[in-house]
């Protein structure tokens, strides 16, 4: 059985695979958002893939993390950063991480 951290990382990769509509095997930890993983379109009125990733990142972030984002002390640039952020955020906001990543609640 996977550890919680392994499960969150695996589900994070699956989430990115679904968002960018590419096979999970093509997503590498060092892949950079906006460079390797690009939005398929840009619009002021419709959400694209990078907007979805940004929403995920902010939806699971705690108050302290949001302050770090606001101060420019924390950025999420790579797939590894995204996965690590989801793992970190699950300690304080597990329900939201589970919801976003599609991890079923255990009875």
Instruction: For 58-88, write each residue's pLDDT tens digit.
Output: 999 999 999 999 999 999 999 999 999 999 9
Question: What tokens appear for 29 in the block?
Answer: 């930890």
pLDDT (0 to 100) of residue 105: 81
Q: Rounded to 5 degrees, what are φ and ψ at 82?
A: -60, -50
Tell whether 106 is covered by a domain.
no
Strand partners, 33: 37
Sign of the C-alpha dihedral computed for residues 103, 4, 69 and 17 taken in this order: negative
When divided into structural domains, the chain yields a total of: 1
- For the chain, the straight-line distance linking the first and the last C-alpha, in angstroms and rounded, comes to 17
Q: How confident is the model at residue 97 (pLDDT cuts 50, 70, 90)?
A: very high
Q: Which two tokens stand for residue 81?
A: 């950063």
Domain residue limits at 34 = 4-101
**Residue 83 domain-assigned?**
yes
Residue 17 lies in a domain: yes
- Whether 88 is covered by a domain: the verdict is yes
* This prediction's pTM: 0.92
Tokens of 42: 């840009």
Does pLDDT of 107 surpass 50? no
pLDDT 10s digits, 9-33: 999 999 999 999 999 999 999 999 9
Whether 107 is in a domain gets the answer no
The pLDDT value recorded for residue 45 is 84
Count how many residues are written for the chain.
107
Residue 6's φ and ψ, nearest 5 degrees, are: -65, -40
Measure Cα distances from 76 to 2, 19, 58, 61 in Å: 25, 16, 11, 12
């Amino acid at each position: 059985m996977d550890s919680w951290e392994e499960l969150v990382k695996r589900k994070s990769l699956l989430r990115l695979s679904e968002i960018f509509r590419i096979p999970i095997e093509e997503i590498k930890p060092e892949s950079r958002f906006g460079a390797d993983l690009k939005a398929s379109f840009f619009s002021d009125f419709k959400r694209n893939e990078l907007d979805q990733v940004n929403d995920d990142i902010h939806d699971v972030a705690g108050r302290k993390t949001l302050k770090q984002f606001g101060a420019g002390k924390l950025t999420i640039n790579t797939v590894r950063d995204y996965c690590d952020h989801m793992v970190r955020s699950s300690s304080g906001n597990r329900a939201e991480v589970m919801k976003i990543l599609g991890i079923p609640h255990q009875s």
